[in-house]
């Protein structure tokens, strides 16, 4: 279980990008984090991963603090940024081997996962080529394959469907559900409300760095569409 308690992050003193955010992402949840650009979604996700330090609050995964024990915390997570910044001088194979070595993934599991997901994403033939020759979508697929190598307990994703073709997006949705069905969790940001409504078990809406609603999809949207609720809440909070 991921627990975010009273999280606050400011880039400029006195002007928090995210203020006093509290959320719980339970095992088995696909949890959507929605809001306009600049609302605080990426800031929150980067703080969870340990990329960004923060001034106030606590973030824990199964009781392990990202501040107090960052190595143990990071062993249990994977992170997919909105624009994968991979080592472009490497080939796809070398990058996967590099990530597998970091997480000490055994050779058998690595080979099984690479074959399974690279074939599914139709990337196998490209793994011997340098990443610098990859399109954005191909880089995204490679980052997804690498993220799934060590069977993380929590996967954090920032706009994961941007740049993916419809077939790859459909495959990723199935992979996300598989993670949760085995007891893991997914926390991802998106501005594509139709995807969030169909895919997520729970959702949180953030505006101007402040949480304005969260809960199960049914609790948040009721009889309306998620888009209608989101636009109504955005208007109320202006």
Domain ranges of the chain: 2-76+153-236, 85-151
Token digits for 112?
Answer: 């099984």
87 pLDDT higher than 70? yes
Average pLDDT over residues 94-119: 95
pLDDT at 236: 63
Going by C-alpha positions, the residue among 35, 25, 144, 131 that lies closest to residue 82 is: 144
Question: Which fold is adopted by the domain 2-76+153-236?
Answer: Rossmann fold (3.40.50)
Cβ neighbours of residue 22 under 8 Å, at least 6 residues apart? 4, 5, 6, 7, 211
Q: What pLDDT, on a 0 to 100 scale, did the predictor assign at position 234?
A: 72
Residue pLDDT, tens place only, 208-225: 999 999 999 999 988 888
Long-range contacts of 105-111 (CB under 8 A, 24+ apart): 105/149, 105/150, 109/149, 110/149
pTM: 0.91
Q: Is 54 left (phi over 0), alpha (psi -120 to 50) or beta?
A: beta
Terminal CA-to-CA distance of the chain, rounded, Å? 33
Q: Count Cβ neighbours within 10 Å for each residue of 34-73 and write b for 16 or more, e otherwise.
A: bbeeebbbbbbbbbbbbebebeebebbbeebebeeeeeeb
- Please choose, from the candidates 150, 140, 144, 164, the residue with its C-alpha nearest in 3D space to the C-alpha of residue 85: 140
Percent of the chain at pLDDT above 70?
98
Mean pLDDT (the chain) is 93
| pLDDT tier, 238 (very low <50, low <70, confident <90, very high otherwise) | very low
């Amino acid at each position: 279980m991921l627990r975010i308690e009273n999280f606050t992050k400011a880039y400029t003193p006195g002007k928090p990008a995210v203020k006093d955010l509290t959320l719980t992402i339970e095992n088995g949840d696909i949890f959507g984090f929605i809001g306009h650009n600049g609302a605080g979604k990426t800031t929150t996700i980067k703080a969870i991963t340990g990329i960004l330090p923060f001034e106030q609050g606590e973030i824990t995964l199964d009781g392990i603090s990202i501040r107090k024990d960052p190595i143990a915390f990071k062993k249990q997570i994977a992170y997919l940024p909105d624009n994968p910044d991979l080592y472009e001088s490497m080939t796809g194979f070398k990058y996967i081997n590099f990530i597998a070595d970091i997480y000490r993934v055994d050779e058998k599991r690595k080979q099984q996962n690479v074959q399974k997901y690279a074939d599914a994403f139709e990337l196998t033939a490209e793994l011997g080529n340098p990443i610098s020759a990859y399109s954005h979508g191909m880089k995204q697929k490679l980052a997804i394959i690498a993220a799934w190598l060590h069977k993380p307990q929590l996967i954090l994703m920032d706009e994961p469907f941007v740049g993916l073709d419809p077939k790859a997006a459909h495959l990723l949705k199935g992979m996300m559900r598989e993670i949760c069905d085995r007891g893991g969790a997914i926390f991802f940001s998106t501005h594509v409300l139709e995807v969030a409504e169909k895919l997520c078990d729970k959702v949180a809406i953030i505006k101007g760095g402040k949480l304005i609603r969260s809960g199960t999809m049914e609790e948040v949207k009721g009889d309306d569409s998620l888009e209608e609720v989101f636009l109504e809440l955005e208007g109320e909070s202006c």
